[in-house]
Structure 1
């Protein structure tokens, strides 16, 4: 096994590495130290250094499942641990478990479980993403139509909870009014737009009401056309909003990804996985509400042939950005760490390696494969080395 921690006591330790990317700059031959889960110093190394590059941990806003489990299907602490364990191998150090359109009872269960995880300081669980149920039926994708519904007092009471960390909700603005968006924001929610067939004017009204992002850009949203820009057109031209993007080579064409990179200001495009239960497993199918989803290579489809999430992981998304889209490595890493942290409002703690920041960090090899993953200074994954 490689030995990276020269000392370890109460989430304290140090590592000397050949390369370090702090979120802005690259450094060579440095030692990073942490105490009680936070970075205490980065200084020139005085002895031998570990091969590889230390980078900020990846933050994923949209994780439906992993490790063979789906959050909607089995909302429990064990499910969250299994999801985090699966994604830790691929660089995720913080995530928003995502509950897609479902019953109020299931939504409440998922919130209860996330609250328990946060109270128990479960590594990596920082909040909850409600993807639905206030969506558009024409753009529902694989979301179950029978659970798509208007915002009611039952959901609003759930959204007002203060024990579930960062709260993000995806809504269709044709079905959630600007006043309701303001109400959600007052409840402490971050409102993103998606699964929508809205025209551009409706989308712009939602942004003016305080919506701040777009969920999986291009997918399940009204397209850009010559006379009706749709949600895609507004998302690409709005300088202030964030856009999540699924870089698995299946959800969008490379040219569409390059258009987004060219159109959005730097810092406003970020990587998400939309990962389903097979991530980190060899599973070829899984139950999904009353049907099933089948895996063919890296493609997931339901019985009607519609894309049903992904088996993407964050490290693979970073590699795709670098290798297929020619994104500069530092920018690709920021799209997986700093920009999600900024979008979620936690960039004072995450997304960089610097004094006072949480010691959420990854050791990557030259191919951007994860060798080790720490959350708050505790190693949650380390690759097995062959002797």
Structure 2
């Protein structure tokens, strides 16, 4: 796992996660600080491998994040081969259990809320009353998203009252914190000061793109042509923009990958694996990859569109999650924001003021200025 010493969040969270008797926890931690390893280690310690049924339930907001958590668990559990894990996600096979009245025998379930709820209530392949640790990764999304919020509440009501409850996320709004406190009794809370939320190891810039999509495309290709980068993720606001950009870059001879909400599970796995392996250096996506996707080689994030919420107001949380794809585990990272209107500029300045971190202007028509970013 390449850990030589615990990170700040691991130092604070692990004593609480491993306490006996178990303690509930709501914890905020920046992306790339080892929070997944912290709660996975705690999950492993709560398993009695002699009992062949699910004892740990870990929910993620997306299939991709569930799979990533599973990979961390597999790495950490290699010294505990008796502990078994199963994905409770769309496409996982449980029907053979349902038809034969068999139960899931793996000790740890990692999945999404909807599928896991079906397994518990509809198919009854595991008993929620036997769960002794319930983990919500990216808990603010799980709770703040209608649908997932309802499914999470229903699952939580099926658990024992003495089940250990843990929520982890890079960000928590006051509204979400209020709700979390309602479903998690007597929690310990680890929360960052606002000045600590923005990632100090990530340099942040903005580029004026006055010619709309064509201006943004020119800026992106200028950056891509000058910078010697490991890998880059470009975030677009809409699927239409992402598809247009990927098509144009491919047409012009750039090897890029595309990942949107339309991609099925198999396509998403294939795209992310190819990107991790370096087959493509640039991944164009929507907010699908904004949270938790951990690819060490990513050194540059481009916000093709400044993130906004449903009311078109600046979305500081999504911004933090996006730029957190670079600068993982304290490494240096780079975030470049494309601004194509006064409204987009105002939104970005609101984000700058929120995190109290300067976002400097960059001239992408000047190769020398771009090259200086690598120093």
Q: Could you tell me the TM-score, scaled by structure 1's length?
A: 0.30
Q: Which has the higher strand share?
A: 1
